[in-house]
Structure 1
Amino acid sequence: MILEDDAVLVLDKPVGVSVMGERHESDLVRMAAEAGEELFPVHRIDKVTSGVILFAKDLAAHGGLTRQFNKRTVEKAYLAVTSPGGLPASGRIDLPLSVGRKNRVRIAAPRESIERDGDAWTVPAAAIFDTVSTYPSQTSFSVREQTDGRALLEAFPHTGRRHQIRVHLAWIGHPIVGDPLFEKNPAGRTLLHSWRLSFDHRGERVTVEAPMPDEFTP
């Protein structure tokens, strides 16, 4: 537990545990209900992702918090480990997303249409698919540490699309280490961590942080 009062609960979610909707014991909302507590998720992080997750403890608090996410006034920061070669010290990925076969999230344009200009990745408007629903998506990042084998990034999703950071990094050629979406039979966990979250609560700006797991050290 990172923070708790009578309205909110912030947890450091372990990898391999779902926030809600899981049919097994690894569903945090269900586990809380079995312990006699009702929790309302304000946002989601993937089962393979560890770190900060925010819950409301009543519907009144939930409404105010979800509006902050919808208005994009919440600041989110993740840590991710990827392959290092060719990454600038910082960059911005502005690539729309869509949903393809088997409900897989993908870039809403042909891979070969992705353009890099210095530290920015985009696709021309004419290349964006017009036969499916598409969703503007932006992620910025900075390289925190780098070795010959991998890079530790701070990633900042400016939109909140499903699998956004994972898909953005993979499609520019730097998939997250251990990500089962892009790596068959990974040997270890997915090295993506919900690191820091800032939101408004009771008239104050609150910043919460989940410490970086040991596996992320280059």
Structure 2
Amino acid sequence: MKLNIVFENEDFVAISKPSGTLSVPDRKQSEPSLKDFLKQKYGEIFTVHRLDKFTSGLILFAKNSGTHKQLSQLFEDRAIEKFYIGIVNGVLRPSSGTVNTPIMEHPAKDGRMLAHSKGKPSVTDYETIEAFKNYSLVQFQIHTGRTHQIRIHAQYLGQPIVCDELYGDGRGIYLSAIKKKYNLSKNQWEERPIMGRLALHSYNMRFTLNGETYSLEAPLPKDFSATLEQLRKNN
């Protein structure tokens, strides 16, 4: 695996994680994780936080126990500003706002979470950046770090993240759905989605560590940028 390093110093490394890669090993050790690759490169590495397997983008790992403690405390104190970009189904009304809805583990205990009054406090700010015919590009800022928080809150707003199999219909974005005159090419038997994975990307983090302020950014992946280009072209 080629590591896409956004920034590193002697204390921590910021990686742009590809969609489909585990942040850290799962309980079954079913497949290599990003942390496994980092251990091969750096030897000792410390988990600070996680991203969902199919969420791409910025993730931090500490290189020593002292920085691990500091960064973990910053996350716990909500002293790290975390911004995500997502494509949601439909158009959000209102176009911006705050979701302050608790989240708890689903009673079925099958990996899903649930917006519920008995859950843990969960706060997400959202702002529509661009609205298309059937989709919207939205910035999310999370003030808490609950499992699947953005995905749950997008579902709560009635416009789940594109290609979310747990909280939406799981359907990707197809060119035939947005382009008026679309025909399969001669070599194609069936159409493949232009966005066929969870359309959520961790793109910016801002924090201060040891007196130095950092603003780290992971550019949008190619599939994300290509999808936006098609949505703009056919809007």
- Shorter-chain TM-score tier: 0.7 to 0.9
Higher RCO (CA 8 Å, separation ≥ 6 residues): 1
Cα pair 2:155 2:168 within 8 Å, conserved: no
AA at the equivalent of 1:76: K
**Identical aligned residues as a percent:** 33
Moved over 4 A (4+): none
Distance 1:204 1:144 in 2: 30
TM-score (norm 1): 0.84
Cα pair 2:92 2:136 within 8 Å, conserved: no
Partner of residue 141 from structure 2, selected from 148, 153, 156: 156
Report the Cα offset of residue 202 of structure 1: 2.5
Identify the residue that residue 64 of structure 1 maps to in structure 2.
70
- Say if 2:7 is the partner of 1:3: yes
Structure number with greater Rg is 2
Cα pair 2:92 2:159 within 8 Å, conserved: no
Alignment of structure 1 residues 29-40 onto 2, 5 Å: 29-35=35-41, 37-40=43-46
- Say if 2:209 is the partner of 1:201: yes
Distance 1:59 1:19 in 2: 19
Equivalent position SS for 1:67: helix
Distance 1:89 1:183 in 2: 19
Q: Which moved more, 1:136-145 or 1:15-24?
A: 15-24
AA at the equivalent of 1:168: H
Identify the residue that residue 47 of structure 1 maps to in structure 2.
53
Report the Cα offset of residue 200 of structure 1: 1.3
Distance 1:59 1:163 in 2: 27
Partner of residue 177 from structure 1, selected from 152, 157, 162: 162
Distance 1:69 1:143 in 2: 25
Cα pair 1:193 1:212 within 8 Å, conserved: yes
Identify the residue that residue 140 of structure 1 maps to in structure 2.
125
Identify the residue that residue 111 of structure 1 maps to in structure 2.
none
Unaligned runs of 5+ in 1: 109-127
Cα pair 2:83 2:142 within 8 Å, conserved: yes
- Residues 95-153 of structure 1 show CA distances to partners (whole Å, capped at 9, x for unaligned) of 11111212420011xxxxxxxxxxxxxxxxxxx34xxxx20111011000111021000
AA at the equivalent of 1:17: T
Cα pair 1:29 1:38 within 8 Å, conserved: no
Distance 1:165 1:105 in 2: 11
Distance 1:177 1:142 in 2: 16
Number of corresponding residues: 195
Equivalent position SS for 2:83: strand
Distance 2:17 2:92 in 1: 32
Distance 1:190 1:21 in 2: 20
**CA-atom RMSD, angstroms?**
1.6
Report the Cα offset of residue 205 of structure 1: 1.1
Identify the residue that residue 167 of structure 1 maps to in structure 2.
152
TM-score (norm 2): 0.78
Report the Cα offset of residue 185 of structure 1: 5.2
